[in-house]
Amino acid sequence: MINNIEQYLTELKRELAGSDRATVQDALADAEEYLRTALDNTMKDSPVPEAEALAAIIEKYGQPREIASAYKDIESSTPLAFARPACDKAKVPAIAPVAAPPVPDTRPFYARFFGVFAEPRAWGALIYLLFTLGTGVAYFTWAVTGLSVSAGLIVLIVGLPILALFLFSARGIALLEGRIIEALVGIRMPRRPLFSRKDIGWWQKFKNVFTERHTWSAVLYMILQMPLGIIYFTVFVSLISFAGYLIMKPVTELVWDMPTFIIGDYGYYTPVWLMPFAVIAGILLLFVIMHLAKYTARLHGMMAKYMLVRE
């Protein structure tokens, strides 16, 4: 018999062993929010023993094994863009749909290589990598400002509230970043914030946030996002520019009379017979760039999942 909410969450986590980490985090957040809210309302309306009230709530919500099974079924069968499914007995009331496991691509190599421009995830990955420069500057500025102001005022009474607000904001940014990654890169990330208990004081809330690895790994991610964004932006803009330069070489040299390079007072041009090869190399480089963007964003998403998703 389950005697308290902590025991229920422990059993639910055990039943979800092997599931995606983001799915587990969402399931635990859903369950804790539902159980604690329902228990608080029950105890206010009709004072009864807590164990008895919790048993009735669990009967309505579902046992850990049932909830875990519902999450696993949805995870394996519901496409990412489908609407939230209905379920009985109020089980999993706030489940967001999750992506079905990816289907292996069995196309020939040439079809996969040249078909990358038709893949939405490749375009999403490229957009994400280019925009990390902007988000990285914003995250880095907020993290450094929050840490420095909090450290400078920690000896005063206002220091702890400022630090607490900064740490809670870091969690919010982690949730926002996860939604961006899931939308553009296609990696499952948490869909809702972690549940915050209302029956404990602000000091206990602060200690819970301050002592969690998830909080500080989110802050570290915010700091790392700027140098990574600079690298991503520089590399991909340079590659795209070089590919465009190769493709436009016949125009720049034959029409605009722009030499390939200049040494002293002399300009050197590419031989005309090499022009078609330069154009072909530029086109092939564009395909390589899209594949590189897709796999780079995938690696970044894996890092983000490790740092932004609670264990």
Reduce the secondary structure of 162-223 to three states and give it as a string: HHHHHHHHHHHHHHHHHHHHHHHCCCCCCCCCCCCCCCCCHHHHHHHHHCCHHHHHHHHHHH
Q: Tell which wins on pLDDT, 70 or 243.
A: 243
- Tokens coding 304: 């983000």
Cα–Cα distance for residue pair 282/276, rounded to 1 Å: 10
Distances (CA, A) of 255 to 102, 178, 187: 48, 48, 46
Q: pTM here?
A: 0.79
- Tokens coding 250: 């016949």
- What is the phi/psi pair of residue 242, to 5°? -65, -40
Longest C-alpha distance within the chain, in Å?
94
For tokens 């579902």, the residue is 62
Percent of the chain having pLDDT more than 90?
30
The least confident of 84-88, 129-133, 149-153, 223-227 is 84-88
Cα–Cα distance for residue pair 34/67, rounded to 1 Å: 12
DSSP state of 156: S
pLDDT at 254 (0 to 100): 67
The least confident of 162-171, 181-190, 258-267 is 258-267
* Residue-wise pLDDT tens digits, 168-217: 899 999 999 999 999 899 888 888 887 776 667 777 777 777 888 888 99
Highest averaged pLDDT of the listed ranges 98-112, 176-190, 253-267: 176-190
Cα–Cα distance for residue pair 103/304, rounded to 1 Å: 23
Question: CB–CB of 225/140 below 8 Å?
Answer: yes
Cα–Cα distance for residue pair 192/25, rounded to 1 Å: 9
* Residue-wise pLDDT tens digits, 69-104: 888 877 766 554 333 333 444 444 444 444 445 566
β-bridge partners, 161:
none
Q: Tell which wins on pLDDT, 202 or 5.
A: 5
Identity (one letter) of the amino acid at 111? A
Reduce the secondary structure of 25-40 to three states and give it as a string: HHHHHHHHHHHHHHHH
Domain regions of the chain by residue span: 1-101, 234-293
